[in-house]
Structure 1
Amino acid sequence: MKAFSTPRKSLGDLDADAAAALISAAADIALILDERGIIRDVAFSNAELSREFASHGNWLGQPWIDTVAKDSRPKVEEITRRGAATDAGRWRHVNQVAGDGASVPILYSAAPVGKAGRIVVFGRDLRPVSRLQQRLVEVQQSMERDYSRLRQAETRYRLLFQMSPDPVLVLDGTTLRVTEANPAALRLFGKNDRRAVGRTIGEAFAAESRSGVQALLASVRAAGRADDVQARLAEGGSDVTVSASTFRQEGTLLFLVRIALPDQAVVSLPPVKTKMLKLIEGAPDAFVVAGSDGRVITANAAFLEMIEVPGEDQARGEPLERWLGNQDVEAEVLFGHLRNRGTVRLYSSVLRGEHGARTEVEISAVTVMNGGKPVFGFTMRDVGPRVRAPVPTGARPTRSVEQLTELIGRVPLKDLVREATDAIERLCIEAALELSGDNRASAAEMLGLSRQSLYVKLRRYGLGDLGAEPGEQL
């Protein structure tokens, strides 16, 4: 430790009050001990710390060692012994006993003062540091748990990728070269299957099919989706179905290409079913199918337009509640009705678009079983353009009891209470006006309101002629 070089010159003549102020400001807690380690005075830098040690007045005249926890007494003896020496002792962690008996961690150091063997003990409250350290440990543990989950997820998907019977390729979005391929895909490249990584996707297909595969990838890159294409493999000449989608990793665009072999081809639908699917895809009303977990399986173009996403791939696999309803609980209520009753008709709600658009819709839904699991189909009709009853300018519309009942589960309770209060207040004003023969002065007296307050509420609810009566001042 390096002391001041010219303390008498730089500090001047300090009296006892100035020295006490400096000591109090230099530490969270300061103790003055005599040569026997008895506390002669104590100071705190803030009121909060003083309240923690509410009984510090009883410390005066007691040995400092008696005010700390038993495990800290050897440290107090060392601090006192070193503090009495000419060189200040090092900082030690001491558990100081508070007024309620709790141990408060304090970092102490001591230094001699004056010529009467007095010692000044400086203390720093370690609780903020302890809380910060605890928070750091919690964050570190949380990160380790997240890393563990990511590693487990990566292992599961890597295992699924390797064991899939379908040939699956990952391509670089710029060069269209293979960056990863599962064992089923490696066999597409013939005898040199182990050298598939780094080769272009076109080498896996016959010459006449390469342009079609390249057009598929270009459409997927531009629009986010594209119809599957038929192609012929270079090895064996088998006809296959190729589908593709895009994803980003570390800022790089990649293609995920799946190749359906002939024995994995999907059985074609009857012509009537095919036409029905085409009608649903082109219908002006939104249509969406969600699984038992509430995630989108498929959707038509009208639904994609309402939620403002460019393609079905951006919606597939996402929870429907991401776009449905004003409140998160609204989707849960809708799915609960479907699970319990099987159908829902004319359910009023809102679809929220990715870019802020809001579409008022009426929803009808049905539950069907598929492979032993429920699947939910929704039709959503845009009812925004429908003509509504005009509301006077400046008036605040109120809801009926039936409308308030429909809001349960869709809006917070405080909003329901406010809506109910407005409905009751409007009914009372209408009744008073009817009983008084539309005499506003009498109606205001019946309601216990001033005429000015009544006029404010009339404007608020759009009741009656809002012009001022003769002799009345609004």
Structure 2
Amino acid sequence: MTTGGNTFWSSGSVPLIEPEFLSSIIAAASDIALVVSAEGIILSVVVNSHSESFGNLRHWEDRPVSEFLTRESIPKFERAHAAYLLGEVPKKQLELNHSDNAVWQYPVRYTFHRFGHENAALLLGRDLRPIAETQQQLVQAQIALEQGYEARREFDARYRVLLANTKQAVVFVSVQSGRVEDANEAAAALLGLNADALRSSSFAQHFMDRSNVELTESLMNATLAEEEGQVTLTATRTQASVIAHPVVFRAGGQRILMCRLETAASKAATPDAAADHALAMFRAGSDAMLFMGPKGVIISVNESFLDLVGAAHLSDVVGRSFGDFLGRGQIDLAVLTEQPQRSGHMRIYATKLVNDLGTRLAVEISATHLADADVAAIGCMIRDVSRTETARGGSSGHMSNTAPAEPARNVMDLVGSAALKDIVAETTDVVEKMCIETAVELTNNNRVAAAEMLGLSRQSLYVKLRKYGLLNKNG
């Protein structure tokens, strides 16, 4: 043991350490200590009492060290031990991975020390698991940090692309300073300057007769309006009347105003009258109106539809399948979605509307495929015909004085040329064939759906299809 010339340890000032105290001192000086013979046999194992994770290692004694090392650690130990036996004590610390019956593995950093016992070596080791765990935590933290930076860069790129390509003039203003945090080229052009000059400047300086505090306060008050608030301003450079639509949000610990800008002239431009009238009809019309996606998911409805199904709020209906409110469920829904998408529209389809309480209401539905819209949808006009059916039922016993319809005249022409039984049978067959053809066409040749629509069993439908020569039609 070298002490830099100090003879304290060799002068006899310190008495020899008693054997019963030596093991505890060695254990306290390391996490694990091994006494290894010249043959590589473990003579003794001493474990620090504070390192409970090692457990009881008494079974290591009198067994070769190599039995408790991983495959890659055995050559490293053998080289260091051979050098030790040749009198070259390894100066570099030796990191070995222990394994015990493949149950667990752990790394230990050892130092070799001479031991006055027939070339036996004293190996003092430090458990590297706490260091490995710390390194692993640092690696995970670094990975999470990199992922956070990557996500931030991705969001920033999306924001920049969106801001640069939108035609709407947009300005972001700090509530605290009143300065422009960011703006796009459309906003700069509207105010008569370039985007770089607009950024970081006072937003109020670009408008006439507005101080910084006054303008910020006006914009904040507009954000509190029940409907969309707006502030009318006059641009200093272009003298144009500008309308700002502000929205406030919090980011980075401060409040930011996002202002959408437009000129009063563009806002006052004549809108599409047909679109306005259609919107007014949708909101105030007496007939129920509904828009749904190609798969039948409801996008929007008017108040009349809510009244028909007894719903209190739009949230009770929007997002649900229209089939939930149809008498024949998915059968009706398939007809109302597939037929319009094939032919563009479908006229008067009779079915029943069912609310959440189970009440059934007779309705007629006309559907149109709106392929030219930004998002493809199917528009439905729904008319309550329950009162009409009741009126028809009440007057069914009274003959009309009006002239008979064409089908009725065709039937009358048969009178005198055939027996009544034959006339009725032939007329029934014609009507039955027409109904079957219509059901098969509406369900896009889905025989199961057509049978359910007609109230027939599938076997009965096939019999009638064969009877009228329709079995192979569209099959």
TM-score of the two chains, using structure 1 as the length reference:
0.50
TM-score of the two chains, using structure 2 as the length reference:
0.50
